[in-house]
């Protein structure tokens, strides 16, 4: 968000935000229909959203939850990862990837990324960090670019590990959601589709998905809707569960958004291709990861600034010229809490990448002209910084 003073100083310039949700009349009508119907919690719309999401990803079923963080937690719980177990995790990720490991009492083991042009969790480093206590691995499809899922599946099977996909950045792309034992998706406001807050879980094994379904609602054996309709009159509690349910309002928005997701992803890919061409012309000093992707949801547009360029200065100058930017991500292993509890060896590739990474605006409302302006402006600021 831009401040009021910044808005006044940039009144003649169109402000370009990092990632705007696409919302309109269809979402308003969907919300009104829920309110008029009078049923607000898990009901027919949640079930329809689950079916539609599963179909889009080529699987039989899905379970809606109130966040991707909740989804990751339930993926770990339902696959029997618990106290004392070690889980291989990337440090180049949002902290929730690691938080979920702690929720089940397991120990995160931080793994480096492959390299600057492939900032995915490294198979080689993961293999070196396995111990007899290692029970699982979480791979994160950074920026919307799927990791090599077949290679990770082979690695997990050879070592008897549970493979979890953090698919927060990568809905409806490739084989994401089909190779992990379980996968969690995000519908947070800055994602490729949104329900404001919300998430979805997929799993290879139907029994895992049924555990997730039970765990999201206190471990109760019948739903409120079943009891309201007279299909059940009481219930049992069979496990320690959580209140991770998705409501009908968010599901209604999700159903509306889901209809456009493939088209929005395609537009993101078009914009990414235009970024690559424009940055090559205007900012050749900037390094581009994932230059030749085979498939992507194009959630983020990450670039690496030259090593001698002060990133905060560039970000401030971009903001002054009406362009928002961000950093994805500060390494989790360097946060104070994790440094104190889980001292980790240096992750040189992760630390180098994170120190230079800059995320540029990317969302379907951008035009080709917007991308040209961003590339030109970034090139100007980088050239200026290099000559200081």
Q: Cite the active site residues.
A: 191
CA 305 to CA 353: how far, in whole Å? 10
CA 70 to CA 51: how far, in whole Å? 19
**Alpha helical stretches, state H, the chain:** 4-9, 25-37, 44-56, 68-78, 96-103, 123-128, 149-159, 206-215, 224-228, 248-258, 261-282, 311-320, 336-341, 348-356, 368-387
**Exposure on the CB side of residue 305, measured as CA atoms within 13 A:** 28
Strands 199-203 and 182-186: antiparallel
Enter the tokens of residue 168.
């927060």
- Answer yes or no: are the C-beta atoms of 182 and 78 closer than 8 Å: yes
Strand order across the beta sheet in which 182-186 lies: 63-65, 199-203, 182-186, 162-166, 134-140, 86-90, 107-111
- Answer yes or no: are the C-beta atoms of 183 and 146 closer than 8 Å: no
CA 174 to CA 183: how far, in whole Å? 14
């Amino acid at each position: 968000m831009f401040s009021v003073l910044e808005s006044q100083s940039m009144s003649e310039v169109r402000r370009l935000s990092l990632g705007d949700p696409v919302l309109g009349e269809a979402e308003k009508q969907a919300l009104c229909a829920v309110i008029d119907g009078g049923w607000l919690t898990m009901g027919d719309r949640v079930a329809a959203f689950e079916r539609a999401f599963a179909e889009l990803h080529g699987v039989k079923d899905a379970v809606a939850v109130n966040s991707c963080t909740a989804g990751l937690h339930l993926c770990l719980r339902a696959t029997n990862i618990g106290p004392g177990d070690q889980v291989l995790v990337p440090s180049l990720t949002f902290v929730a990837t690691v938080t979920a490991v702690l929720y089940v009492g397991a120990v995160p083991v931080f793994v480096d990324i492959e390299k600057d042009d492939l900032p995915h969790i490294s198979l080689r480093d993961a293999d070196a960090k396995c111990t007899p206590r290692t029970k699982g691995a979480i791979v994160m499809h950074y920026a919307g670019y799927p990791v090599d899922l077949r290679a990770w599946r082979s690695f997990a099977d050879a070592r008897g590990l549970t493979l979890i996909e953090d698919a927060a950045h990568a809905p409806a792309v490739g084989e994401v959601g089909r190779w992990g034992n379980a996968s969690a998706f995000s519908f947070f406001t800055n994602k490729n589709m949104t329900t404001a807050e919300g998430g979805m879980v997929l799993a290879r094994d139907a029994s895992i998905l049924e555990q997730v379904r039970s765990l999201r609602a206190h471990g109760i054996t019948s739903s409120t809707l079943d009891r309201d309709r007279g299909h059940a009159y009481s219930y049992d509690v069979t496990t320690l569960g959580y209140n991770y349910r998705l409501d009908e309002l968010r599901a209604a928005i999700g159903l509306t958004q889901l209809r456009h997701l493939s088209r929005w992803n395609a537009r993101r890919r078009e914009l990414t291709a235009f970024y690559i061409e424009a940055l090559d012309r205007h900012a050749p000093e900037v390094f581009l990861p994932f230059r030749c992707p085979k498939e992507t949801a194009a959630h983020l547009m990450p670039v690496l600034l030259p090593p001698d360029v002060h990133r905060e200065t560039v970000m401030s100058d971009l903001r002054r010229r009406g362009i928002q930017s961000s950093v994805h991500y500060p390494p989790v292993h360097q946060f104070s809490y994790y440094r104190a509890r889980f001292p980790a060896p240096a992750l040189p590739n992760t630390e180098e990448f994170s120190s230079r990474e800059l995320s540029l605006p990317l969302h379907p409302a951008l035009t080709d002209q917007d991308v040209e302006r961003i590339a030109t402006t970034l090139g100007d600021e980088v050239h200026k910084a290099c000559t200081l």
